Amino acid sequence: MELIKNISTAEQPYLFTRHVHFLNFSRFGGDQPVYINIIRDPVNRFLSNYFFRRFGDWRGEQNHMIRTPSMRQEERYLDINVCILENYPECSNPRLFYIIPYFCGQHPRCREPGEWALERAKLNVNENFLLVGILEELEDVLLLLERFLPHYFKDVLSIYKNPEHRKLGNLTVTVKKTVPSPEAIQILYQRMRYEYEFYYYVKEQFHLLKRKFGLKSHIRKPRPRPEFFIPSPLETEEPIDDEEEDDEKWLEDIYKR
């Protein structure tokens, strides 16, 4: 209630950016804010977090810093393959069930890896988010944000491409990051199968949205993945033309939710 009050009474325009599991303001008598989010490939997210917690990024002193001072040395230098293959808590569920809970919401079952949390997360994406983008296609995310929310994101792509911004962005790269063995990667895929089902669902919805607004960007070819562990995403090769809905009317409908 305190969070809802703080956000609802803030002077406009107001952008709140924090790690918050989805909260339905309307259930508590508040006006629902416009929700936006960006997710990334689950394994890449996990690996970045694993090494960032240990060694930080290039913004610290001497080109890097220790991100978690209280971490024991044997834990800090734990080989990523040992962590995964020997099923350490940090490299197994529920720690790996990370992205879905943020979209699922506040219910305790949202923290339990399974179909219930997955379906609820998908439902919230459809009903309560203006946009959920893919980090691997960030420039297209920015183009859509500028289109949907120009008051907040005017010229955002130009700002993002500015050399000074890119220089600052390079400092946030995680240091000392290594790639696990193929065997360890396959195990991660297995453990994160719900995360990947959600990721591919969001990715497909994002691609549908891009086609609806005429974005046809060049996307880097994704790295190979073990298809027998992860369902392949649906493919939509042609633009949507079965519903000739006005773009602005569609956007108005989103705002009413």
Residue type, 14: Y
Distance of alpha carbon 148 from alpha carbon 136, whole angstroms: 20
Cα dihedral 4, 10, 13, 16, rounded to 10, equals: -50
d(CA 87, CA 81): 10
* CA–CA gap between residue 41 and residue 99 (Å, rounded): 10
Closest CA to 22 of 6, 41, 37, 42: 37
Instruction: Give the whole-angstrom CA distance, residue 179 versus residue 173.
Output: 15
Question: What are the tokens at 131?
Answer: 């946009």
Check if 165 is active-site.
no
Write the Ramachandran bin of 180: left for phi over 0, alpha for psi from -120 to 50, otherwise beta. Answer: beta
Categorise residue 222: left if φ over 0, alpha if ψ from -120 to 50, beta otherwise.
beta
* Rounded distance between C-alpha atoms, residue 50 and residue 56, angstroms: 10
Rounded to the nearest 5°, which phi and psi values hold at 65? -140, 160
Catalytic residue selected from 19, 21, 64, 107 = 19
Active site residues: 19
